[in-house]
């Protein structure tokens, strides 16, 4: 029988009470549901970025029953997408500037969630770690390679603080299945992976022949644009930078790769020990321009041999007209399932859901994104292997509960910065290839781009905006 200190103490206390003639009263008898956690035992949480995706994250964190939402911070506390959250947590204090929040009530919370635009994850996270706070940050961790590196270093400096990146698949079935299949030798000798996201993106209706940034517009009265800009190069306000549009621009977001790569490549990257690539080659950049992301992109990431694992090429496809080839026996994933297969052993579906195809020496796997599990293809091979597949354990907690339990010392996070950081840096190198339009040759040891001095300079990071330099020290 398995036990631990907490269960031992609980059993010992029950025994002691029974010996003294007392009755143990369960929470349900007192009118409290089973699993009830007293407010004093919950994690006091401050939430930075509460609209759009932040709205969803805060609700998910609150639904665990493991936290008290004590502070809400957003650069626009009067927008419709933030008002809903404000009304849900009437006792929480409100701030427009995260720096003021830390100054005013930093001693009233022990953890933060960060769901701001990609580029501004960095300063909030760094202030959180330096202030002794546990940090949950959305994916990708940051916009630049250097910023991610500093976040990794800060997490190492403060090892007692829990860090978690928001790639929820790390707490769902795919994570535990991939781990179990890898350990059992089902997933082995992987030499190629295709990851794909072929849904329309916000910029697909824009003109790629753009020659300048959009013109200045009036700043909404409820928005603090200076704080929104944070450490980034200043831009005059335009609606096409705000409310999720930031993802379109190299200056602010990470495009489709940064958005969906963490949901398709994550388990491959961790359990196949990929680390950083030695080469990133952009083989397709349709509608390339220096301002916003291409209409369609194909990138090839090259990884060397790792121990007894072979060299691996990871190919990324995005764009509605850039569907990757799939192997024979892939199955149906088309808009129209009546589209016939070709006789060349390749099927070109009209549409693929976001996911991945994993090619091994002996077996091929297909999978979706987030927590979607893998299946062996073709179906005949899957049936042949069925009796050999190991049992997959269930997740002990969802991604949000995992973070909050880690804050309390009850679990370890499954996507800490030491794991999520190198994955985010893969995206940073991919974006560098998209922006330059050139092949990137990368030294995995020195972490330098060796074939393009300008790209290497940008990799090191442009100087932060004046007044934001303090976040770039660990």
Q: What is the DSSP string of 102-144?
A: HHHHGGG-SEEEE-S-GGGHHHHHHHHHHTT-EEEEPSSS-SS
- Can you give the length of the chain in residues? 474
Q: Which of 355, 394, 391 is nearest to 374 (CA)?
A: 355
> Which H or E run contains 401?
helix 399-407
Is a pLDDT exceeding 80 seen at residue 141?
yes
Least confident of 161-165, 331-335, 357-361: 331-335
Residue 337 and residue 359 in contact, taking contact as beta carbons nearer than 8 Å: no
Is residue 14 over pLDDT 90?
A: no
Could you write out the DSSP letters of every residue in 143-210?
Answer: SSHHHHHHHHHHHHHSTTS-EEE--GGGGSHHHHHHHHHHHTTSS-SEEEEEEEE-S--GGGGS-TT-
Q: Is the pLDDT of residue 443 over 90?
A: yes
pLDDT at position 459, please?
87
Q: Which of 9-13, 113-117, 194-198, 292-296 is predicted least confidently?
A: 9-13
**What distance in Å separates the CA atoms of residue 462 and residue 447, rounded to the nearest whole number?**
17
Cβ–Cβ < 8 Å for 364, 145: no
pLDDT score at 437: 96
pLDDT at 292 over 80: yes
**pLDDT for the residue 332:** 65
Are 192 and 359 spatial neighbours (Cβ–Cβ below 8 Å)? yes
Residue 258, C-beta contacts closer than 8 angstroms, at least 6 positions apart: 118, 139, 140, 143, 247, 424, 427, 431
pLDDT at 236: 97
Cα separation, 400 vs 219, whole angstroms: 34
Mean pLDDT of the chain: 90
Backbone torsion region of residue 370, taken as left when φ is above 0, otherwise alpha when ψ lies between -120 and 50, otherwise beta: left
Residue 95 CB contacts under 8 Å (≥ 6 apart), including other chains? 71, 72, 73, 101, 104
Which of residues 264 and 21 earns the better pLDDT score? 264
pTM confidence score? 0.90
What pLDDT is attached to residue 38? 79
Tens-place pLDDT, residues 40-83:
899 999 999 999 999 999 999 999 999 999 999 999 999 888 99
* 379 Cβ neighbours under 8 A, 6+ residues apart: 329, 331
Closest-CA residue to 165 (of 427, 471, 395, 421): 421
**Does pLDDT of 29 surpass 50?**
no
pLDDT per position as a tens digit, 150-192? 999 999 999 999 999 999 999 999 999 999 999 999 999 999 9
State the Cα–Cα distance between residues 439 and 452, nearest whole angstrom. 9
Query: What is the average per-residue pLDDT within 216-222?
Result: 97
Read off the tokens for 252.
């602010």
């Amino acid at each position: 029988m398995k036990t631990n200190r907490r269960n031992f103490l609980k059993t010992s206390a029950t025994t002691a009470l029974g010996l003294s003639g007392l009755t143990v009263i369960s929470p349900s008898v007192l009118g409290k549901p089973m699993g009830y956690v007293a407010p004093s035992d919950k994690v006091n949480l401050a939430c930075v970025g509460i609209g759009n995706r932040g709205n969803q994250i805060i609700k998910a964190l609150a639904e665990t029953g493991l936290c008290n939402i004590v502070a809400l911070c957003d650069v626009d506390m009067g927008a419709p997408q933030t008002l809903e959250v404000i009304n849900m947590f009437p006792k929480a204090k409100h701030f427009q500037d995260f720096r003021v929040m830390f100054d005013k009530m930093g001693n009233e919370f022990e953890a933060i969630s960060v769901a701001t635009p990609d580029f501004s994850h960095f300063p909030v996270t760094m202030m959180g770690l330096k202030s002794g706070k546990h940090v949950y940050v959305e994916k990708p961790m940051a916009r630049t390679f250097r910023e991610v590196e500093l976040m990794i270093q800060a997490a190492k400096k403060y090892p007692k603080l829990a860090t978690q990146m928001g790639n929820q698949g790390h707490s769902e079935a795919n994570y535990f299945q991939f781990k179990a299949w890898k350990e059992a030798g089902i997933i082995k000798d992987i030499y190629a992976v295709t990851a794909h996201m072929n849904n329309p993106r916000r910029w697909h209706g824009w003109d790629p022949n753009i020659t300048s940034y959009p013109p200045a517009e009036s700043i909404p009265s409820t928005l603090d644009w200076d704080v929104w800009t944070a450490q980034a190069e200043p831009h005059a306000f335009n609606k096409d930078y705000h409310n999720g549009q930031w993802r379109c621009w190299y200056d602010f977001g990470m495009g489709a790769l940064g958005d969906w790569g963490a949901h398709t490549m994550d388990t491959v990257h961790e359990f196949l020990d990929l680390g950083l690539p030695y080469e990133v080659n952009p083989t397709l950049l349709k509608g390339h321009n220096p301002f916003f992301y291409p209409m369609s992109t194909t990138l090839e990431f090259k990884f060397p041999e790792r121990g007894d694992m072979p060299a691996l090429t990871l190919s990324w496809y995005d764009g509605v007209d850039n569907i990757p080839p799939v192997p024979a026996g892939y199955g149906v994933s088309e808009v129209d399932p009546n589209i016939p297969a070709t006789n060349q052993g390749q099927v070109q579906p009209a549409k693929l859901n976001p996911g991945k195809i994993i090619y091994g020496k002996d077996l091929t796997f297909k999978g979706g994104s987030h927590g979607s599990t893998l299946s062996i293809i073709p179906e005949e091979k899957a049936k042949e292997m069925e009796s050999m597949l190991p049992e997959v354990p269930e997740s002990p907690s969802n991604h949000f509960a995992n973070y909050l339990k880690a804050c309390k010392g009850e679990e370890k996070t499954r996507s800490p910065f030491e794991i999520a950081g190198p994955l985010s840096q893969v995206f940073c190198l991919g974006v560098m290839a998209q922006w330059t339009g050139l092949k990137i040759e990368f030294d995995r040891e020195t972490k330098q781009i060796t074939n393009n001095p300008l790209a290497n300079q940008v990799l090191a990071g442009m100087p932060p905006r004046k007044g934001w330099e303090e976040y770039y020290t660990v």
